[in-house]
Amino acid sequence: MRKRVVGEAGWSHSAIAGAVGFIYFFPVLFIILTAFRNRMDTLATPPKWFFSPTFENFYHIFYRSSSTTSEYISTGFHMYFFNSIYISGMSVILALIIGTLAAYGFSRHPLKGNETYLFIILTTRMLPPIIVIIPIFLIFRLTGLAGSYTGIIMMYTCFNLPFSIWMMKSFFDELNTEIEDAARMDGASERSVFFGICIPQVKAGLAATSVFALILTWNEFLFALLLTNKTTRTMPNAMARTIGGEINVDYGLLAAMICLFLIPIFFVTYALQNQLLRGVTFGTIKK
């Protein structure tokens, strides 16, 4: 394998790549800068590039001045933050566990009409969510799941399952089954073949699947809007509430919220990036 030297592409290519990269990153950068501006600087035209940074936006996310008294009261945002982490985390873990087991089954012990089942699983993702949201809302209200953690976690797990089954199946399909046979001959049980042989080989797939599923869930708005209540509300909804119904939008506050919103995803992606790169390029490299 040829070792790639950093910067090998040369200055001109690097400069073009840098320019393109900057164009992509600019909106995010602008949001991050806005989060540290005070209200005056935020609304300045042309935008103020040099300003004295302030943390007041971040403070206001969690505490807001009351309209009746001069005291600062909690906005409950820390709870929404926790809700987002808990709900998307749980649903991704569940979807990953169920999806991986299902994918292994579909890959190693195909049913009669295996492809049909896989197709049916995928059809659940073919409808736009807005079509199914009304019956789901009614079902949730009838069963009492509306507004509960269980309900929204179940919803998101179902939402992530087709994707994780299909993705993990392709990873299992790519494995050399001889290794599993060798393990069986060495006396491994079916359970240890799965956990000891297959799972370590699809780590990259698990990482890629979990990051993609996490991003989908983390950003999801519609289901969360209708199926959560005040105590189970997630970040995207909490952010939306700062826009709607007010006389003017506090862009600084919103930008600060977005900054906080980005942090968990950023860390997860960063922690898994090595696995992730291998995951998304899986199958494109000669074994």
Partner 1 sequence: MSTLELQNLTKQYGALTAVNNASLKVNSDEVLCLLGPSGCGKTTTLRMIAGLEFATSGDIFINNNNVNNKNTRQRNIAMAFQFYALYPSLSVSENLANPLYAENISSEIIKRKIGEIAEILQLKNILKRKPHQLAEGEKQRVAVGRAIIRDPECFLFDEPLSRLDVQLRETMRGQIKEVLSDLKKATVIVTHDQLEALTMATKIAVMRDGLIEQISSPHNIFAKPQNIFVAGFIGTPQMNLISAQFIKKENNICQFNIFGQNINIKFAQNYELDPNVSYTMGIRPRSFEFNVQQNTETFSGTIELIENMGAEILLHVKNDKNTLRAVTSRTNNLRIGNKIHLAPKINQTHIFNADGKVL
Does the footprint of partner 1 cover residue 188 (CB under 8 A)? yes
* DSSP collapsed to 3 states, 89-133: HHHHHHHHHHHHHHHHHHHHCCCCCHHHHHHHHHHCCCCCHHHHH
Q: Segment contacting partner 1 (CB under 8 A): 38-46, 61-69, 131-139, 182-190?
A: 182-190
Binds partner 1 (CB under 8 A): choice among 9, 15, 20, 182: 182
Q: Segment contacting partner 1 (CB under 8 A): 4-12, 135-143, 144-152, 181-189?
A: 181-189
* DSSP collapsed to 3 states, 30-75: HHHHHHCCCHHHHHCCCCCCCCCCCCHHHHHHHEEECCCCCCEEEC
Q: Segment contacting partner 1 (CB under 8 A): 60-68, 195-203, 207-215, 236-244?
A: 195-203
- Min dist CB 184 to partner 1, Å, is 5
Q: Count the residues in the chain.
A: 287
Does the footprint of partner 1 cover residue 187 (CB under 8 A)? yes
Binds partner 1 (CB under 8 A): choice among 4, 178, 284, 286: 178
Tokens of 171: 């990873």
* Residue 121 and residue 161 in contact, taking contact as beta carbons nearer than 8 Å: yes
Does the footprint of partner 1 cover residue 201 (CB under 8 A)? yes
Does the footprint of partner 1 cover residue 184 (CB under 8 A)? yes
Binds partner 1 (CB under 8 A): choice among 124, 176, 229, 231: 176
* Residue 164 and residue 213 in contact, taking contact as beta carbons nearer than 8 Å: yes
Contacts of 122 (CB under 8 A, 6+ apart): 162, 166
- Min dist CB 201 to partner 1, Å, is 6
Q: Which 3 state secondary structure label does DSSP give 172?
A: helix
Q: Segment contacting partner 1 (CB under 8 A): 140-148, 184-192, 241-249, 256-264?
A: 184-192
Residues of this chain that bind partner 1 (CB under 8 A): 176, 178-179, 181-188, 197, 200-201
